[in-house]
Amino acid sequence: MNVLGINGSPHREGNTAYALRYALGVIEDQGIETTYISLAGKGITPCDGCFVCRKGECVHEDDMGPIYDALRRCDGLVLASPVYMGLVTGQMKTMMDRTVVLRTGGRFELTGRVGGGIACGGFRNGGQELTLQSIQTYLLQQDIYAIADGPGFSHSGAAIVGRASEDAIGLQTVTNLALRVARAVKQLRGT
């Protein structure tokens, strides 16, 4: 069993990195292997909408290659993004768009995985919820079971305000989400 975490921040060691690594640590404590990918510095060409991928593969050969492999391998997925102008970063959205190849031509390669989102914003009400909803919409379009942080708070997923390491409530939502992802992966894989 493997849970893949993808960080959509341009900062390798920013708040999103802290929150995502925190989540993956909780998941590892549940006996599940994790993989961490940062989109910082990656060369990922935006989707051209050419739909050549309907025949099998994307026309672009770039840093998406290992990300496709990791997505195909994973049982669970945690997408973590800073809030940029109320939504996911361009890096995260470009990565999402390029994964259309995994759900085209009648194939849904990620069917049956589970996934959740982490949003890190500088401000309270800065757009964390819409960012989480855009992540959930992506998961649903990939036929991935989207889950949120669940009780005790049970809102849209894990949301951080300001410095991640100092946001105790935000980190509690990260823990809650991670535990639910771990539990769902185990249930789906029958262990």
Task: Please report, for the chain, how many H helices and E strands are present, in that order.
Answer: 5, 6
Reading the block at residue 9, the tokens are: 């921040």
Q: Which is nearer to ligand FMN, 85 or 168 (CB)?
A: 85
Continuous segment of H or E residues that includes residue 151: none
CB of 187: closest distance to ligand FMN in angstroms? 30
Residues 34, 21: Cα–Cα separation, whole Å:
10
- 85 touches ligand FMN by CB under 6 A: yes
What binding mask, one character per residue, do residues 119-148 give for ligand FMN by CB under 6 A, x or -?
A: -xxxx--xx---------------------
Cβ-based neighbours of 25, under 8 Å, separated by 6 or more: none
Q: Which is nearer to ligand FMN, 8 or 58 (CB)?
A: 8
* Residue 130: Cβ-neighbour burial (10 angstroms; 0-12, 13-18, 19+): middle
Which amino acid is it at 186? K
- 83 touches ligand FMN by CB under 6 A: yes
What binding mask, one character per residue, do residues 14-43 give for ligand FMN by CB under 6 A, x or -?
A: xxxx--------------------------
CB of 157: closest distance to ligand FMN in angstroms? 15
Whether the Cβ atoms of residue 108 and residue 99 lie closer than 8 Å to each other: no
- 86 touches ligand FMN by CB under 6 A: yes
User: Which residue ranges make up the site for ligand FMN (CB under 6 A)?
Assistant: 9, 11, 14-17, 82-86, 120-123, 126-127
